[in-house]
Amino acid sequence: MLIELLTNAATEAPAQNFGFWEAMEEGGPVAWSILAVMIIMSVGSFYILITKYFEQNKVMKEYRTNRAAFWRAGSLREGATKFDKNSAWRQLVDDGIRAGEESSKMDDSLESHDWLHGTLARSEASINASLAGGLPFLATVGATAPFVGLLGTVIGIYRALIKIGATGSASIDQVAGPVGEALIMTAIGLLVAVPAVFAYNYLQSRNRRIAAMLSGFSTDLQANITSNGQVKPAVQAPATAPAKAAPAAAAPTKKA
* pLDDT tens sequence across 45-65: 999 999 999 999 999 999 999
pTM of the predicted protein model: 0.74
- Per-residue confidence band for 12, with pLDDT thresholds at 50, 70 and 90: very low
Q: Residue 231 contacts by C-beta under 8 Å, 6 or more apart in sequence?
A: 223, 224
Reply yes or no on whether the pLDDT at 256 is more than 50: no
Please check whether residue 92 lies inside any domain of the structure.
yes
Please check whether residue 55 lies inside any domain of the structure.
yes
192-237, pLDDT tens digit by residue? 999 999 999 999 999 999 999 999 999 999 988 888 878 888 776 5
As separate numbers, helices (DSSP H) first and strands (DSSP E) second, the chain gives 7, 0
- Per-residue confidence band for 2, with pLDDT thresholds at 50, 70 and 90: very low
Domain that holds residue 47: 34-226
Please check whether residue 85 lies inside any domain of the structure.
yes
Q: What percent of the chain has pLDDT over 90?
A: 36
> What is residue 13's predicted lDDT score, i.e. its pLDDT?
41
Please check whether residue 241 lies inside any domain of the structure.
no
Please check whether residue 135 lies inside any domain of the structure.
yes
Please check whether residue 7 lies inside any domain of the structure.
no
Q: What is the mean pLDDT of residues 233-253?
A: 55
Please check whether residue 25 lies inside any domain of the structure.
no
Please check whether residue 42 lies inside any domain of the structure.
yes
Least confident of 31-45, 134-148, 160-174, 218-232: 160-174
DSSP string, 42-109: HHHHHHHHHHHHHHHHHHHHHHHHHHHHHHHSSSHHHHHTTS-TTSHHHHHHHHHHHHHHHHTT-S-H
> How many structural domains are present in the chain?
1
3-state helix, strand, coil in the chain (%, to 5): 75, 0, 25
